Structure 1
Amino acid sequence: MADLPIQRNPWKITKAKPIYDNPWLQITEFDVINPSGGNGIYGKVHFKNRAIGIVALTRENELYLVGQYRFPLDRYSWELPEGGGPFDQTPLEAAKRELLEETGLVAAKWEELLTMDLSNSVTDEVATIFIATDLEQRAPEPEPTEQLMTLKRPLSQVFDWVMQGEITDSITVAAVLKLKVLGYC
């Protein structure tokens, strides 16, 4: 990133008004002077946790997917094991907890694959995605609000599902595409 030019912030905030707040997110409306000098407003969704994704990869190059009904989308979604990691916990600690919760898996080896902004036009949500290998199966420990299914499929098949638009979760799509570029499938 040292070669990419960095610009100063052209936005000026004149007022911040909290709109909504719960344990997971906060919405703020800002009165602003935009980059062209005009007055306007900008809404921001602040996430109180980091998004975590885990590529649980077997020796046979299969990965685990978790299926669940996603309330905001009003549809079922197949995706990597994912969840929220409190900022007072390291991303790796959160990933280990989420993997066990959702799949019952414990991994002996961990490698960070990717950190990304999820929707930087209206949120500040950041995701960290790990590759977990040398897996051991234990009992899942889902949260009471979760009704989950798990699948183990060849990475090449999951890549096909991503390319066909059958898997649309952004963390899963980004991780699988990066794995493809790195030669995993």
Structure 2
Amino acid sequence: MSSLGNPWQTLASSVKYVTRWFSVREDDVIRPDGQRGTYSVVRAERVATGIVAVWPDESVTLVGQFRYAVNEYSWEIPEGGGAFDVDPIEIARRELHEETGIRAGTWTLLGRVHTSNCFVDEVCYIYLATDLAPGVARPDPEEVLQTQRVPLERAISMARDGSITDAITIAGLFWTWAMRRSG
């Protein structure tokens, strides 16, 4: 599939806000329609990972936590981020163990997604983890987490009926489901 070139022209950029997790950049631009405008971009300061941990009985481990930004409790695959100079697979291994206590013997990259590419530059690498061994979770102090194992088919149903709304989780579950169906 072919793609068109970049129709935007950036005239100037300035960073407006910086945190440990992200920064906000404001660009003066000429839009594709030829008009001048302002485009704000949230720049992720870390690479993101998501892990679909699948057990031999075809169940997956989900992590539940309250998400302040959307003011909702969320069931998700284990997720987390790390520095850009760290291999994403290492970040994924650390996050899976930290949030769930699980260690995986086999890792497969399912894919890479932009989490919200209209205004955020964050990239997330999503992995399938199998050959699992349970352990003790050690979440970050600010994280209040619970975990549950659910059949993959039930997790897919939760994504389809809106019980799961996290985009990384939905992508990871459907990639896993498609991989399992196609062999």
**Same fold (TM > 0.5):** yes
Show the counterpart of 1:140: 137
Query: Secondary structure, in 3 states, of the residue corresponding to 2:3?
Result: coil
TM-score (norm 1): 0.95
Show the counterpart of 1:178: 175
Matched, 1:69 2:66: yes
- Give the letter for the 1:118 counterpart: T
Which of 146, 167, 172 in structure 1 is aligned with 2:164?
167
Matched, 1:21 2:18: yes
Which of 114, 122, 125 in structure 1 is aligned with 2:122?
125
CA distance in 1, matches of 2:55, 2:26: 45
Which of 34, 57, 60 in structure 2 is aligned with 1:60?
57
CA distance in 2, matches of 1:88, 1:158: 33
Contact preservation (8 Å) 2:65, 2:146: yes
Query: Secondary structure, in 3 states, of the residue corresponding to 2:173?
Result: helix
Deviation at 1:184, TM superposition (A): 4.8
In structure 2, runs of 5+ residues without a counterpart are none
CA distance in 2, matches of 1:181, 1:55: 13
Which of 1, 6, 12 in structure 1 is aligned with 2:3?
6
CA distance in 1, matches of 2:139, 2:175: 28
Deviation at 1:9, TM superposition (A): 1.5
Which of 89, 98, 112 in structure 2 is aligned with 1:101?
98
Instruction: Tell me the percent identity.
Output: 40
1:119-172 CA-partner distances (Å, limit 9, x unpaired): 110011111000111111111111111000000111011111111110010011
Deviation at 1:180, TM superposition (A): 2.3
Label 1:12 to 1:117 Cα distance change in 2 as closer, same or farther (>3 A): same
- Give the letter for the 1:162 counterpart: A
Show the counterpart of 1:32: 29
Deviation at 1:8, TM superposition (A): 2.2
Label 1:85 to 1:184 Cα distance change in 2 as closer, same or farther (>3 A): farther
Instruction: Report the structure, 1 or 2, having the larger helix content.
Output: 2
1:30-67 CA-partner distances (Å, limit 9, x unpaired): 11011111100000000011111001110110100000
